[in-house]
Every structure is written in C-alpha cells, then in structure tokens.
Structure 1
Amino acid sequence: MRENIWDGPAAAVRLAEGASLGETVDTADPSAWIALDAGARERGWAYGEASWQPSAWERTEGGRALSDALQGGQDTAADGLLTEARLALGLCHRNGRIRAAALARAAACPGLLPLVVVRCSDWAPPVREEARRLLTELLDAESAVRLLPLILRIGRRGRGDFATDLATGVLRAAPRGTLVPLYADADRTVRRYAYRLAVEEGHLSPAELAGVAARDDDTVLQRLCAEAALAASAEGHVDDDVLEPLLGARNPQVRSAGVTALRRAGRGERAVGYLGDRAGVVRACARYVVRQSGGDPVEWYRRRCADAGDPALSAGVVSGLAECGDRSDAEALWALTAHPDPVIRSRAVGGLRLLDVLDVRRLRELLDDPAPGVVREATSALLPSARLLDAGWLLERLAVERARETRVSAFRLLGAHDGLVRLRAAVALVDDPDGGLRHRARQSVQRWHPTADVPAGVAEVGELLGRARHLFGDHVLKRLLWEAGLRA
C-alpha cells in the first residue's frame, strides 16, 4: 500500500527499509515526488540533547549504510545496496555531497528521472549543474510529456525555469501529435501549457481550436482557443466549423468572440439573434455588429418590449433595452414590472435603476412581489431614497408572516433611516425565529449609538435597550444609556 503523498518522512523510512519505489510512492503524481524530497530531509528535535537529530530514515540500518556508501564513494552496486528505491533517498539527502554522488549513479535508473528534475532547482550549485547536465542528456519527447506536470511545478520555484525551458525546447522539436496526451490532462496548468504551445507551433486547425473553446471548462483555455481559432482563420473568411462551436458555447466570452466574428465573415445579420442573449457581453457585441451592418438595436429592443405578450420577449431583451435605451424607455419598463415572468419583472426593475428612473411610490409596491429577485432589485433601487419611505409601513413588513425576502428588504431599508427608527427595527427582530435576520438584528443593536437625530432623554430609547439588555454587559449598557441622556 502506498503512503499518503503528504507523508514524505514515512515513505522515506519504508524505502530505507527495503520497500520498492512503486509500492511506496505514487510515481505518476508530481506531488508524491515533491513530498518525498521534502520528507527525506525532515529532521527531529531531541529535547534531552537539545539538538536536531538525523531524519528518521537515516537512523535505520539501511539509511546509515546508504549514507556511508555514497559519502565514501564505495562501489557497492554489486551487493544490491544501491537499489533504485534507496538511490532515490540519496537524491533527496540533506547532504549536498551525497545528493551529487547519487546523481552520478542516477543515469542508470530511468525511474529516478523525476528526482533529477527536482534537483535541477537545487540550492547547491554543483548538484544543480550536474542535475541539469543529466536532464539535458536524458530528456526526450516521451519523458517530457510524462514529466511535464512535475516540471511545471518545479518551474515555479526559484532556479526552476531550466527544466521548463528544456522541456519546451524538446516538445517544440517533437512531432505534431506528441502533445495530444497533455490536452486531456487533469491539471489545468498542464492543459494551458500544452494548448499555448500548440497554438504557437500551429499544431491545431481553427476548427479544432474552436471545438476546444466550446468544450473545455477552463475559462482561460476557452478564451485562448477562441482567439486563436479566429486569428488562424483566413482574412475575411470564417468557416462554419469555426463559427458554430463559438456561437453555441456556454461561456459568454467565447460566444461574444463568435458574434464579433460574424461581421468579419460577412454575416452581420445573424447578430440580431444574439441581441437578447442572457450575457451582457454577448449583447454588447451583438449591438456593435448590428450597428456596423446598418441596423438599429435600440428600435429592435423597443419593438419587443412594447408587447408584453411577445413570445420572443426574454430577460436579455429587457436588459438590452436598459443598456442602450434612454429615459424615454422607462414607461415600457414600468409596464414590464407586471409581467407574469418573475425574471422579466426583475430585469425591468434593474433596467429602471440603470436608467436612473426613480418613482418611490411605484417601486415601494414591488417590495411585496412574490419573486425574491424582484424584491432584491427594488430594494437596491430604493436604498438611496430609503428615508423617503414611511418607517411605519416598513416596520409592518418585518412581521413574521411576511415573505422572508420582503422582511430582509424592509430591514435593509430601515437601516438607512435615522438612529431611533433603526433601533426600533433591530430590537423588533432580536428574538426572531429566522436565524439570519436575528443575527443581523443583534449585530445592529450591539453597534448602535445615539446620533445627532436622536434627542437626548427619549424614554423609548431606554425601553428599547432594556428589551435587548441580554446583548450587552452592564457597563456597556450604562454607557449607552448615558450617551442617550438617560440614567441606568
């Protein structure tokens, strides 16, 4: 059974005791090699002697024999002492001379090439230079592909760029299909490296790059491959096998690249179909292409928003009108706040906020909307004018029988009122059955202090603080009452 890859010291002990490398270390996992390298040098503190002791594996019989053999330069290969497993420990040894001696024998053990990669960033110059010479001699395209996850990790270290540069040179000179296994690697850093190299070397066609942009779940790769696919397409011409994957991609950045390419492909009229896309960046690109093709996106949005029963009306269409319309479009958006689709209602309210059209009376009614999204949008729109709302009306919406989103909204808006109203709202919820509201209310009470708009000596302040006295220590409560002009 292999050791946990983070338990490097235990793995080192097993190797010293004669276990094989394959049963002790997950040789396919770069983390296992790094853990072994660090664990083999981990030393223990001897409290009785007040000194650092050798690593646990060095204190084993096999460990002592290995150190003596490598340090003394004995030729012990014949007696089987320098097995691949024990030589791995020599490559990780805390003594630089022993690491150098192990490197001199590592060329005969291909399975130790990962540790040669690790030693390429060694802090001891003689060890580092010998490891680099050895890696230059041994690294071919096949081993570069196999070791790339480890090479890229070591490349992030100080002095670690040598192995990365060497592997890049080897892979650039390799046949086109060499990188294929790396395209599906579980490590996204490896995939990014492989696709960047493939793009630079022209290993993938525009159609293949577009397919990757549409399929891969890594946003960096999606953007890289989408841009490369379009850049590699012939000037003034983009094939359907490039456009269609981009236009159908889930990622908005990839779709927007495809929409923008419609103009270059001479198909600007197709961009109209993306004016109502769910993503703002795609809508913006579609508007640009439509304008460049002689169309008027604003009028297109206005026609669809004017008819609430239009089956083509979507949340993206409503947002698009707000993004490129003006205040004259406010009435169309107000009408859509009564639409049966809650998403369209919430987008309509968000659009009114974007156009900076505020009608406190009409927005206030939306706080009772059954859709939480509508209530949240209305609250955001009302917050700058919260003091214009009747505090008593808002306090009624704190009642436990109200919808939770309405109660949260009312509490947020009451928090923007003056100090006394804010205290009333918070104290009303200090024992609320809703844990989230109760927590917010208690925090609000504990942070409350009389402000200039709270007259000194108001008896209601004392009553409210008395109801929440369990949230304060005696000293804090006395100080608050004194600040409010009241006696404890």
Structure 2
Amino acid sequence: MDVLERVRLAVAGARVRDGGALEELIAALLEVGRTGSPGDSFEALRALTERPALLLHLDAFIRREWWHPTRPTPGLAEADPVVLAVAASHADGRIRERAVRRMLDQPHPGTMPFLVLRTSDWVRQVRDTACAGLAVLLHANPLLATPATVRTALLINRRRRGAFAHAQLLVPLLTRSTTALAGTLLTAPEAPVRRFALDAVAHRLGLRDLAALAERDPDRQVRARAAEAAARQAVWTDQAELLRRLARSRHAEVRITALTGLMRTGSPQTVVPYLDDPSALIRALAREAARRTGTDPLAHYRAAVQAAEPQVGAIGGLAETGGRAYVPLLTALLDNPAPQVRAHVLRALRSLDVVPVPRVTALLRDDSAAVVKEAAAALLPSATHLPADLLWDMLTDPQRPAVRRAGYRLLSRRDRFTALRAAVLASGDTHPRLAARGRTDATTRIRELTPHPWITRPVPALGADPAQAAELLTLAEEHRTVLTEGTVHLLRDVLRRVPGSR
C-alpha cells in the first residue's frame, strides 16, 4: 500500500476516542516522514489538517500516550515536516519548543496549523516562541493563513490561552493589501472559515460580491451576514434595484434583510406582495407594509385561502391574523388534495392550540410523509387519549418509515412502560435514524430506572405487571445485539424489582 494512501485511510478511519486508530494514524504519518519525499509529507499533513478537530485530539493523544521512555523521541536534525508536526505535540516542552523553532526557520502553509496549536501551549516558553513567530510570519507572508490554519485557530479560540492566533489572523484581513487572502478564505470549503473572513472584510467588499455570497453560499449564516452588509450598502447608496433582486432570493434570511432595506428606503408597496411568503417573519413585515399602504391583511388572507390553489403562506398568515375565529375555514382545508397545504394547515392549527383530534388522527396514515409528521406533532398533547392499538400498528408498519416514526413519537408520550417497550422495539428498525433514536432512548430510560448507590435520587417505577415485564425482557433479548449486553443486563435487574416477578 502507498504510504500516502495509508495516511488517508488512517485519517478517514480515525475516531477521537479510539486510541488504536490514533496509534495507526501516528504510525502512518511517521512512515511518510521516514520513506516519503517532502511533497509526500506536506500532502499527508494536508490530509490531517482537513479535520482540525481530529488534529486537536491527536495533539492531546500524543502528549498523553507518547511520554513513556520506551517511546522513540522524534529526531529534529532532519527537518521533515511530518516529524516536526509530531514532535510539536511531544510531552516534553523542550522538544516542542525545538520543533516550533524549526517550523519557524522553514515556514510552510502545511505546518502552520501545528504552529497555531502551540500558540495556546501551557508552557510559557513554547507559547511565547510560537506567538512571536506566528505574528512575524503573517506580517511577512499573509498567504500563510490557509483555511486549515484559520479553522484550527477558530477551534483553539475557545481555550483559555487560544485568543492570540485568532486575533493575529484577523490582522492581514483588515488591511487592504491582502485581497488574495480574502478571496481564498471566502471560497474555503469550511463554513466557519468563510464566516470568519466575511466578518473581517464585509465592510470593504463591493455590492456585487456581497450579493453573490448572499445568493449562492451554501451556509445560512454566511448568506445572512452577506445580505445584511449588502442591504446596508444599498440603503446608503439608494440602490433599490439590488434590494429587489435580493428580495427574490429563495432563502428567507436573504429576503427578510432585503425587504427590511426596502422599507427603510420608503418603498412599503414593494413589500406588500410578500404577505403570502412561507416565512412568518417576512409575513409580519409585509403586514406592516400593508398597513402603511392601506391594505387589509386579514381580508387578503381570507380570500387567499379560499382560492382554488391556496398559498401555504396565506394559511399561516390567516392563523396569525384571524386567530381561532377562522379555525373552521382552516379545518376545511385538511381535505385539500395538495399535501403541502394539508401540512401547513396542521401547523397552523397547532400554533392556535386547536386540534380536531379525530380528524387529525385520520391523517396519521396520509400518503404524504410531511403530513404524517405534522399530524403526529399536532397530536402529541393528546397522545395518551389515542387508541394504543393504532399506535402499535403504526410502529410496526412494514412499508413506511414516516408512519413508524410518527407512531414512535406518540408512544413515547404515554406511560413509562409503553415508552420503554416502544424504544426497545424501535431499536431494531430497518430505518437507521429511527433505530438510533430507539437505541438511545431505550438505554436512557433503562438507566433512569436503575438505582445508583452514590446518587441519592428516587428511582421511578416502571409501572408494569409480571406478564408485561416478561414480555419486555423477551423483546430486549431479541434486540441484544443493538442494545448491547450491558443494557440488557441492567434491564434484567430492573425487571426483577417488578412486584410479582421471579
């Protein structure tokens, strides 16, 4: 196997709490350092720094596990990047300091994340050397601030001594001479890096650049911040056309910012058409614009929901403005053939706290998964009054995961025994998300029923008779591979305390 491929596989398979996997990763890195070229070493480091959280855990693992005298001390005479990176995490502060000095003597973007790590070192001599060196390097060559370097700095910024690198990386972005750096960071694959760069350079980006970020960036926070900066500039420079362009965005966080800008420029009439917007916040802004222009929002919503094809935003708007007086009109829309209409009607009825239980119960088997989900959410307060047989049938539906998830949500709101039995049953579901939730809930509920000698708290009663306890234990035994042997053993102890059990 190629040494670089070994590193990539080790990085992909590494888990932060798996010591064996981290040992394999260290061995793979050191093999590249011994047998590979400098280019291979930097490629191996790049593969590692693509996962900054793993880099931080690897740093802690090396300090904790590689301190023993039988461990080989990395030689620093040869300046291989991988060897320096491993040595920079050594338990001995003198070795870490020497590794930092070697990285400063031969700076490279690939070793910058490891230098950033040492700026939060607990040993003052190591920390001071790394901080001073980082400041000098960034001043001489701002392009050393790679996305991986910034991502590492953002992570260690949460530490007690981690603020220095974060502040130093801001410095080159705040100067006008680093356009290339800003462009690199604004197109980085990691959303936190793009947010960091945008916060620093938004004040000097042009309207076109900000609008492009607001319209096309995949991260919601980046879009919102770019839209806010663009709208601010557009309002100051009276560029209403750009605000109207952003108001047509498919992203609600962009539309609300643009529409707020249009209101500030004295154009409420351009905001009124958004009365039927899917976003509740935008509808509220549009209603304010309607009042300023003499339009009656309630009359608009009344007419809109009775149209042949009601807009889903109008359904929410009628609930927000008309209140419970229009519940009959909303309930009639539960027969609408459009599933998105039925789903939004259920959401509106739930917001008004007026749910016709028999009518909504019939929608638990709706053809639309979205409608089933909303029906279950609306019926949660009434879960104890629903037929138990219906809910158990839903949980064992052989075809539709959405129906099984809805049945599980409602069963979880019933008594403690029913909720635990449903969780054990769901832990073996073929749908991975429902199985994971059932496994987690079953483990949590069983532990809640288990007394702890060092914790003084009342242990709740399961509320089961001997026959139910025996059935539950049989069911758990059938799912022992997913619940784990330890969890089943705890449940067995819990069930022994059921009155009448053997």
TM-score between both structures, scaled by the size of structure 2: 0.67
Whether the 8 Å contact between 2:243 and 2:262 is mirrored in structure 1 is: no
**TM superposition shift of 1:198:** 0.8
Deviation of 1:32 after TM superposition, in Å, equals: 4.7
Opposite residue 195 of structure 2, the aligned amino acid is R
Deviation, 1:109, is 3.0
Segments of structure 2 that go 5 or more residues without pairing to the other structure are: 12-24, 450-459, 477-490
Shift of 1:184: 0.8
Equivalent residue letter for 1:299: A
**Alignment partner of 1:351 is 2:348:** yes
In the alignment, the residues of structure 1 paired with residue 62 and residue 390 of structure 2 have an alpha-carbon distance, to the nearest angstrom, of 70
Give the whole-Å Cα distance in 1 for the aligned partners of 2:395 and 2:60: 59
Distance 1:391 1:20, change over 3 A: closer
CA contact under 8 A between 1:40 and 1:92: conserved in structure 2? no
- Partner of residue 149, structure 1: 147
Give the Cα separation in 1 of the matches to 2:394 and 2:101. Answer: 79
Deviation of residue 220 (structure 1)? 1.6
CA contact (8 A) 1:210 1:225 kept: yes
Aligned residues: 439
User: What is the CA deviation profile of residues 423-454 of structure 1, one whole-angstrom value per residue up to 9, with x for unaligned ones?
Assistant: 9xx89x989x98789998xx8xx999897xx9
What is the correspondence of 1:58-457 to structure 2 with a 5 Å cutoff? Answer: 58=75, 66=77, 88=84, 92=88, 94=90, 96-97=93-94, 109-111=106-108, 114=112, 117=116, 119-140=118-139, 143-152=141-150, 153-154=152-153, 156=157, 158-175=160-177, 177-178=179-180, 179-199=182-202, 202-235=203-236, 237-244=238-245, 246-307=246-307, 309=308, 311=309, 313-366=310-363, 369-385=366-382
Cα distance per residue 1:117-152 (max 9 Å; x no partner): 5554444434443444444444346x3233343543
CA distance in 1, matches of 2:289, 2:258: 11
2: distance between equivalents of 1:228 and 1:131?
35
Counterpart position of 1:76: none
Query: How far off its partner does 1:255 sit?
Result: 1.6
1:22 aligns with one of 32, 35, 39:
39
Structure 2 distance, partners of 1:294, 1:144, is: 56
RMSD of aligned residue pairs (Cα, Å): 5.3
> Structure 1 residues 147 and 336, CA, compared in 2 at 3 Å: closer, same or farther?
same
| Counterpart residue number, 2:18 | none
254 and 40 in structure 1: CA distance in 2 versus 1, 3 angstrom threshold: closer
Match in the other structure for 2:453: none
2:7 is paired with a residue whose SS is: coil
- Contact 1:260–1:289 (8 Å) recurs in 2: no
Q: Which amino acid aligns with 1:317?
A: A
Secondary structure in structure 1 of the residue aligned to 2:345: helix
Q: Which amino acid aligns with 2:259?
A: V
Per-residue CA deviation, residues 11-59 of structure 1 (Å, 9 max, x unaligned), is: 34654x575432223287384598699499669779xxxx62242544x
Per-residue deviation at 1:300?
0.7
Compute the displacement of 1:289 (Å): 2.7
- 1:370 and 1:19 map into 2 onto residues whose CA distance is 58
SS where residue 70 of structure 2 aligns? strand
1:302 to partner: Cα distance = 0.5
SS in 2 for 1:185: coil
Deviations 1:214-239 (A, max 9, x none): 11111221121111112223448343
TM-score normalised to the size of structure 1? 0.68
Cα separation, 2, equivalents of 1:414 and 1:93: 50
Q: How does 1:38-57 map to 2 (within 5 A)?
A: 38=59, 52-55=69-72, 57=74
What is the DSSP-based 3-state SS (H/G/I as helix, E as strand, rest coil) of the residue aligned with 1:226? helix
Name the residue aligned to 2:485.
Answer: none
Equivalents in 2 of 1:44, 1:388: separation in Å?
Answer: 56
Rounded to whole Å, the distance in 2 between the matches of 1:126 and 1:450 is: 58
Structure 2 CA distance for partners of 1:93 and 1:213, relative to 1, 3 Å: closer
**Structure 1 residue 401: Cα displacement:** 10
Q: Higher Cα Rg: structure 1 or 2?
A: 1
Structure 1: runs of 5 or more not aligned: 67-81, 455-460
> What's the counterpart of residue 455 of structure 2?
none
